[in-house]
Structure 1
Amino acid sequence: MWFMAILSWLAIIVQVSFIIMSLAAGLYYLTELVEEYTVIASKVIRVIIFITIAIYLCLIIFENLPLGLLLSGIISQLVHLCILKNFPFFTFTSVPFISGIILLFVNHYLAFTFFADGIYPLSQVLGFFTLCLWIVPFAFFISLSANDNILPTLAETRPLVSDDSDVVSHYFSRKTKKYGLYSFFNYCKDNFLGSRVKKSF
């Protein structure tokens, strides 16, 4: 009996490890796609936002959820549309970005206080959280490093040094460190997996 218990715990550890590796590989692939196709990613995020607004409207019509929770969710989706205007550039100190973060916490608080009663089953609660609260912020999260490889333009938000009007040479001479999910995955790949040597035959 004790050996089967140990075996089951070992199997759980192996399964969780596979799930984590699969999630990491999927996130790496998604961030690579977003960096490669920023225009398509912007359109996909816009469609996801409109679908989420439609879900909120259906919840207002068909379900008996608190109106404050649903209106707060719709307002947060409108704020997400404001953030999407400058995609793939994110200004972390802008009013839409900060208000989007605040509304994310407010929506989670309102949802947790409502669903804490246990009236709805866990699958419905997870469905609400996934489609109404998590999917759009997750899409923005994997898009944070999308502007790392965008060609520079004069409309870029960072000011040029002195009177240098050569945007391209200024862009490639910058030594700023890149942050984002894709940069983090590349760092992990380079430092933990090592470099693969191609065989010559």
Structure 2
Amino acid sequence: MWFLTLISYIAILVQLIFVTIAIAAGLYYLAELVEEYTRIAKRVIWWMNSVTLGLYILLWICENFPLPIIICGILAQLSHYVILRNFPFVSFLSLEFLAAVVFIIVNHYLAFSHFTSVYHPFSEVMAYFTLFLWLVPFALFVSLSANDNVLPTSIDGREADVVSSYFSKRNKKYGLLTFFNYAKESVLPVRTKKGF
């Protein structure tokens, strides 16, 4: 009896490891796509934001959700539009980025308080969190790696040449794709080609 229970815990651990690897591979692939096709990524995120905004309006009309959740959700989507204005350049200390983070936190608080007071099936709760709260911020998070390889447009005060300034700062990138490349190089063994 105890052996099968132990085996089931080991199987759950193995499944969690596989899910984690699959999510990391998917994020790596998405970060590569966003880095290569920034205009298409901006358009896709804009459409996802528009659909989510329309879903908030339909949620208010069809399901009679509380007005604070709807207003906070619409303001969050509008703040995402403002972030997309300068895409792929996102400043973490800008007012629009900080406002989007505040709206995400407040929107999660309102959603948790609503779903704990009013019963909804688990599938409806997950649908709300996935489509209304997580889809667009997750897409914006993945797109943060898009400005890792963007050429600079202004000259730094210490460097006289834009290109040499870019190559001297090239190793100091901090983004999702850089993190995954570092993890890939440090975890996976390096294959060397044999020259015969």
Q: Per-residue displacement from partner, 1:45-71 (whole Å, max 9, x unpaired)?
A: 001000100110110110121011011
SS of the residue corresponding to residue 145 of structure 1 reads helix
1:190 aligns with 2:174: no
Partner of 1:174: 169
Q: Per-residue displacement from partner, 1:4-32 (whole Å, max 9, x unpaired)?
A: 11121111111111111111111111111
Separation in 2, partners of 1:183, 1:200: 30
Aligned-partner residue type, residue 183 of structure 1: T
SS of the residue corresponding to residue 132 of structure 1 reads helix
SS of the residue corresponding to residue 153 of structure 2 reads coil
Separation in 2, partners of 1:34, 1:163: 29
Query: Which moved further from structure 2: 3-12 or 73-82?
Result: 3-12
TM-score between both structures, scaled by the size of structure 1: 0.91
Q: Per-residue displacement from partner, 1:70-102 (whole Å, max 9, x unpaired)?
A: 111001100100001111111111110010111
Partner of 1:34: 34
Going from structure 1 to structure 2, the CA distance change for 1:163 and 1:33 (only over 3 Å counts) comes to closer
Q: CA deviation at 1:168?
A: 2.6
Q: What pairs up with 1:1-201 in 2 under 5 angstroms? A: 1-154=1-154, 160-161=156-157, 164=160, 166-174=161-169, 177-198=172-193
Q: Per-residue displacement from partner, 1:135-162 (whole Å, max 9, x unpaired)?
A: 11101111112111112324xxxx6216
* Structure in which a larger fraction of residues adopt helix: 2
SS of the residue corresponding to residue 172 of structure 2 reads coil
Aligned-partner residue type, residue 66 of structure 2: P
Aligned-partner residue type, residue 121 of structure 1: P
**Structure 1 residue runs without a partner (length 5+):** none
Q: Percent identity?
A: 52
SS of the residue corresponding to residue 83 of structure 2 reads helix
Aligned-partner residue type, residue 141 of structure 2: F
The count of aligned residue pairs is 196
Separation in 2, partners of 1:110, 1:36: 37
Separation in 1, partners of 2:6, 2:164: 60
Q: CA deviation at 1:110?
A: 0.5
Q: CA deviation at 1:170?
A: 2.5
Separation in 2, partners of 1:200, 1:58: 63
* Mapped contact 2:159–2:165 kept (Cα < 8 A): no
**Structure 2 residue runs without a partner (length 5+):** none
TM-score between both structures, scaled by the size of structure 2: 0.93
Separation in 2, partners of 1:176, 1:200: 29
